Amino acid sequence: MTTTQLAEAIRNSIEVEHAAERFYRLLAESTDDMESKKFLVDIAAQEAEHAARVEALGIQLNAGELPRYAAAVGAESVETSPDWAFVDGIGLEDALALALQNEEHAALFYSALADGTEGALSEFFFRLAKDEEHHIDAVRARIARLAK
């Protein structure tokens, strides 16, 4: 992978995390269920934290500035579901199912990037996949609590 491709892959990952943050905040705004709202706001905050960590690690790995914009069209939809972004009155169960689907998609995205790269870059994307797997576990735990 060239230095330019590396920088673009990192910038795309940052955009994935920022888009997920925006998505979860929009979902939180669209629900009247306070438990849903709190859970979605918490996930949005974690996504913002991921974006900051990805950017810091990316600058370190790339040894400098990153591209200003994502290179891949559609990078913003890796961890979001655009059709649901403006659904009003979404309930907790639907919001959690949607969150689970999005987190699984993001974990697969980052795992594929880890598999397609080597060395520090592979480890970088592997860590991102693990972050998303932690979200998957949290969402599944929340779903299990609701089922009881």
What's the token pair of residue 132? Answer: 């998303």
Q: For residue 70, give the 3-state DSSP assignment.
A: coil
Residue 72 has what pLDDT?
54
Question: Quick check: 75 pLDDT over 80?
Answer: no
Spatial separation of the C-alpha atoms in residues 40 and 52, rounded to whole Å: 19
Nearest Cα neighbor of 12 from 70, 99, 65, 77 is 70
DSSP-H helix ranges across the chain: 3-30, 34-62, 92-115, 119-147
- Which amino acid belongs to residue 47? E
User: Would the pLDDT of 130 be above 90?
Assistant: yes
Average pLDDT over residues 80-89: 56
Radius of gyration over alpha carbons of the chain, in Å? 16
Give the span between the Cα atoms of 106 and 98, in whole angstroms: 12
More confident: 133 or 27: 133
pLDDT per position as a tens digit, 13-47: 888 888 889 888 988 888 777 887 888 899 899 99
Q: What distance in Å separates the CA atoms of residue 104 and residue 21, rounded to the nearest whole number? A: 16
Mean pLDDT of the chain: 79
- Please report, for the chain, the start and end positions of each structural domain, with discontinuous segments joined by +: 3-77+89-147
What is the average pLDDT across 65-75? 56
Segment among 41-45, 68-72, 134-138 with least mean pLDDT:
68-72
What's the CATH superfamily of 3-77+89-147? Ferritin, core subunit, four-helix bundle (1.20.1260.10)
pLDDT at 57 over 90: no
pTM of the model: 0.77
Among 140, 22, 135, which residue's Cα sits nearest to residue 81?
22
Distances from the Cα of 27 to the Cα of 24, 33, 57, 104, angstroms: 5, 11, 28, 18
State the Cα–Cα distance between residues 75 and 15, nearest whole angstrom. 7
